[in-house]
């Protein structure tokens, strides 16, 4: 959660006048999204989200993110739709930063997902993967296997501050995953961050997906692994098999995983646990002075990583290999 | 700005069902109010603000705050109106904390007030003072002259960390203000925190007042002094006489200050500068680990205090004594 940039009145007014949204009625900084500053706008035309892209987002990636939301939205995915300004641009500038306005989605994210939520997320993920097909732009996944070692090295000397022995264990894990990472599986655009925060429900039905700022091209089943980690573990770090089975069944109902994808799932879920362990570890060790963000606990993902390491095949997640 | 409490879905749903607001469509933690956690709710009945009262608010004061908003609202002041639950209560409980839902006000607060904004605030303050007349509850001002020395003593040993010599200067100031603080001026309910953050405008007209969580009983002209400090100084800490004249003319148009009140204004403005210097100093020196709040600079109010100390009569603010 973050609001990093204070907006000056005159500048905000001038920015809003560049759009066909009518007068600004209200603006509230909202605690949503770790990477950017987000504001909920009310205007005469309704509610919108204004996002200022802070320094962790590469401006060169913004056409990919905004274009993807537009592509998905026109293909029936309920996600934020970038609003174009009077000159037809989806990307503008405010307070010296890139900025965009997107439509507001109703819905409430769940803190403690139930089995039915997991099933719905599996279905939505398959729909997203299929709707993204044909999107013209590509963006390599900087947080896939090739990106993990540099991230680890940026904080390696201090990993043991978080837990004794963590450095050595991560190094072994990196060696193993780099040697065994699969190739040639079906690939496309993945969300790459479909955590409960980023999924809205209304009356127990999935009503929308948000936060496409990690989306990239990668193996589709890697996204499934991320969702198993994000949705199917209990607070005591044990996998809830009923939830992962529901998620996988939901996914399969929309897009059937191939036998090769199912076989690769344990390794990809393990890799995705390492990815979140590493980014959380980095954030934990480098949280800036005065940050408005409480970093997330890396150890949660260490425990998930250990679970996946002990898995021999995808039956452990509730799907037959 | 603060969102301190993460809400669990089931608990929030149950809480909302206690009100006649229809289904919950959206909930966003908003960066508004330093003392409490605030959430913008969208329900089938419209938009509302949910406030969870965190530990800095004394629950015993909540009937005063909520009752005052209701009193003012029914007397034509555009301020949040507490929503009663199905059992008729304005005050409930959520996540183990006192909680209330109030109506949402449209409007945008200004970061850099202009002269016309200052005039509008003066008028609104006078209207507030008059509308509050007849409110049955009372709440002493814990942050008036009697409260300053204990606050200072809680951080005195460390004031010089912020600026060399600050401790000695505050002590002299306390001695002087305690000896000369006026008595017998017209008193009533004051807002006590009517900063630009707490005043909304729409199309350059003042559209609402929020955040009554410092409201209390005190001399009315003390509130005028607070507003001069909050609205009429430029970023270089110089008073903008045109702004303070506009604010005072606006106030006088609604409720005419007596000659005694005008004569006391320099001292009360000086006292209010010390009050904000002390609370900011305390917060600066005691900001808790992991706080989501960036404390405000106490030195801004040190500079304002020095300005008022050099004032010989109220002409310095643009009003004839």
Nearest chain B Cα distance for residue A187, angstroms: 34
Q: DSSP of B197-209, one letter per residue?
A: GGEEEETTEEEEE
Does A1 contact chain B (CB < 8 Å)?
A: yes
β-strand partners of B206: B201
Question: Between the CA of residue B182 and those of B218, B265, B273, what are the distances in Å?
Answer: 11, 10, 16
d(CA B311, CA B319): 13
Residue of B28, B78, B112, B199 to mutate, testing the A interface (most A Cβ within 10 Å of its Cβ): B28
Nearest CA in chain B to A197: B28
CB contact under 8 A, A25 and B110: no
What pLDDT is attached to residue A134?
95
Does B291 contact chain A (CB < 8 Å)?
A: no
CB contact under 8 A, B28 and A27: no
What pLDDT is attached to residue B315?
97
What pLDDT is attached to residue B1?
35
Question: B117, B247 in Cβ contact below 8 A?
Answer: no
Tens-place pLDDT, residues A20-35:
999 999 999 887 766 7
Mean pLDDT for all residues in chain A: 93
- Percentage above 70 pLDDT, chain B: 96
Band (pLDDT 50/70/90 cuts) for residue B294 is: low
d(CA B196, CA B5): 26
Structure tokens at A15: 């920015």
Around Cβ B42, how many Cβ atoms within 10 Å?
22
CB contact under 8 A, A31 and B27: no
- Which residues, in sequence order, are CB contacts of A107 under 8 Å at separation 6+? A200, A201, A202, A207, A208, B25, B26
Does A10 contact chain B (CB < 8 Å)?
A: yes
CB contact under 8 A, B292 and A290: no
Residue of A16, A23, A31, A291 to mutate, testing the B interface (most B Cβ within 10 Å of its Cβ): A31
**Nearest C-alpha neighbor of A285 from the set A135, A98, A95, A157:** A157
Residue A201: burial class (beta carbons within 10 Å; 0-12, 13-18, 19+): buried
B50 interaction partners in chain A (CB closer than 8 Å): none
Tens-place pLDDT, residues A67-123:
999 999 999 999 999 999 999 999 999 999 999 999 999 999 998 999 999 999 999
Nearest chain A Cα distance for residue B284, angstroms: 12
Statement: residue A55 has pLDDT above 90: no
**Nearest C-alpha neighbor of B7 from the set B33, B46, B38, B35:** B38
CB contact under 8 A, A106 and B32: no
Nearest chain A Cα distance for residue B296, angstroms: 12
Q: What is the mean pLDDT of residues B114-131?
A: 98
- Which residues, in sequence order, are CB contacts of A143 under 8 Å at separation 6+? A151, A192, A214, A216, A275, A279
Q: Per mean pLDDT, which range of B129-133, B271-275, B283-287 is the poorest?
A: B283-287
Q: What is the mean pLDDT of residues A57-66?
A: 94
Best-predicted range by mean pLDDT (A2-11, A150-159, B132-141, B280-289): B132-141
Tens-place pLDDT, residues A200-240:
999 889 999 999 999 999 999 999 999 999 999 999 889 99
d(CA B200, CA B108): 5
d(CA B90, CA B86): 10
Tens-place pLDDT, residues A255-265:
999 999 999 99
Nearest CA in chain B to A28: B30
Of A1, A108, A110, the CB nearest to B26: A108
Statement: residue B174 has pLDDT above 90: yes
B110 interaction partners in chain A (CB closer than 8 Å): 9
β-strand partners of B208: B200
**Nearest C-alpha neighbor of B197 from the set B214, B220, B222:** B214
Tens-place pLDDT, residues A300-321:
999 999 999 999 999 999 998 8
Question: Between the CA of residue B15 and those of A58, A85, B4, B99, what are the distances in Å?
Answer: 41, 40, 18, 10
A7 interaction partners in chain B (CB closer than 8 Å): 111
* Host H or E run for residue B142: none
CB contact under 8 A, B202 and A23: yes
**Nearest C-alpha neighbor of B305 from the set B282, B263, B276, B280:** B276
CB contact under 8 A, A8 and B111: yes
d(CA A61, CA A215): 10
Statement: residue B291 has pLDDT above 70: no
Of A32, A111, A202, the CB nearest to B28: A32
Interfacial A residues in 162-201 facing B (CB < 8 Å): 200
Tens-place pLDDT, residues B28-53:
988 776 678 899 999 999 999 999 99
Nearest chain A Cα distance for residue B295, angstroms: 9
Question: A122, A249 in Cβ contact below 8 A?
Answer: yes
What pLDDT is attached to residue B292?
54
β-strand partners of A50: A39, A101
What pLDDT is attached to residue A148?
96
Statement: residue A241 has pLDDT above 60: yes
Mean pLDDT for all residues in chain B: 93
Question: B83, B90 in Cβ contact below 8 A?
Answer: yes
Of B25, B106, B110, the CB nearest to A42: B106
- Could you report the predicted ipTM of this complex, rounded to two decimals? 0.84
- Which residues, in sequence order, are CB contacts of A4 under 8 Å at separation 6+? A36, A37, A52, A54, A292
B9 interaction partners in chain A (CB closer than 8 Å): 108, 110-112
Band (pLDDT 50/70/90 cuts) for residue A7 is: confident
Nearest chain A Cα distance for residue B117, angstroms: 13
Structure tokens at A37: 């500053």
B203 interaction partners in chain A (CB closer than 8 Å): 23
Residue of A7, A15, A28 to mutate, testing the B interface (most B Cβ within 10 Å of its Cβ): A28
**Nearest C-alpha neighbor of B44 from the set B26, B59, B31:** B26
Nearest chain B Cα distance for residue A294, angstroms: 7
The more confidently predicted of residues B267 and B56 is B267
Tens-place pLDDT, residues B188-229:
999 999 999 999 999 889 999 999 999 999 999 999 999 999
Nearest chain B Cα distance for residue A252, angstroms: 28
Does A44 contact chain B (CB < 8 Å)?
A: no
Does B44 contact chain A (CB < 8 Å)?
A: no
Question: Between the CA of residue B306 and those of A19, B239, B260, B279, what are the distances in Å?
Answer: 45, 11, 23, 17
d(CA A103, CA A80): 5
Q: Which domains does chain B have, with CATH numbers?
A: 9-103 (3.30.200.20), 115-317 (3.90.1200.10)
Does A113 contact chain B (CB < 8 Å)?
A: no
Q: Per mean pLDDT, which range of B2-16, B116-130, B304-318 is the poorest?
A: B2-16
Percentage helix, strand, coil for chain B under 3-state DSSP, each rounded to 5: 45, 15, 40
d(CA B129, CA B220): 7
Of B3, B9, B202, the CB nearest to A31: B3
- Which residues, in sequence order, are CB contacts of A28 under 8 Å at separation 6+? A39, A40, B28, B30, B31, B32, B40
d(CA B311, CA B232): 15
């Amino acid at each position: 959660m973050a609001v990093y940039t204070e907006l000056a009145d005159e500048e905000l007014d001038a920015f809003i006048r560049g759009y066909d949204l009518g007068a600004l009625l209200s603006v509230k900084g909202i605690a949503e999204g770790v990477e950017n500053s987000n504001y909920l706008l009310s205007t005469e035309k309704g509610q919108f989200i204004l996002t200022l892209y802070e320094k962790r987002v590469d401006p060169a990636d913004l056409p990919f993110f905004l274009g993807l939301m537009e592509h998905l939205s026109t293909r029936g995915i309920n996600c934020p739709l970038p609003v174009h300004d009077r000159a037809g641009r989806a990307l503008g500038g405010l307070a010296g930063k890139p900025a965009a306005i997107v439509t507001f989605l109703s819905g409430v994210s769940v803190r403690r997902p139930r089995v039915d939520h997991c099933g719905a997320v599996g279905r939505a993920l398959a729909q997203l993967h299929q709707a993204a097909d044909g999107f013209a732009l590509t963006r390599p996944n900087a947080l896939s296997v090739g990106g993990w070692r540099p991230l680890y090295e940026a904080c390696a000397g201090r990993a043991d501050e978080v837990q004794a022995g963590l450095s050595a264990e991560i190094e072994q894990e990196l060696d193993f995953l780099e040697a065994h990472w699969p190739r040639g599986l079906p690939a496309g655009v993945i969300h790459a961050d479909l955590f409960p925060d980023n999924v809205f429900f209304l009356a127990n039905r999935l009503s929308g997906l948000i936060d496409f700022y990690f989306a990239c091209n990668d193996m589709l089943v890697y996204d499934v692994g991320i969702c198993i980690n994000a949705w199917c573990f209990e607070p005591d770090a044990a996998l809830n098999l009923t939830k992962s089975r529901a998620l996988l069944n939901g996914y399969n109902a929309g897009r059937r995983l191939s036998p090769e994808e199912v076989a690769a799932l344990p390794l990809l879920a393990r890799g995705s646990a390492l990815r979140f362990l590493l980014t959380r570890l980095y954030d934990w060790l480098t949280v800036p002075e005065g940050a408005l963000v409480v970093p997330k606990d890396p150890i949660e993902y260490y425990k998930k990583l250990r679970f996946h390491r002990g898995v021999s095949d995808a039956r452990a997640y509730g799907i037959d290999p």
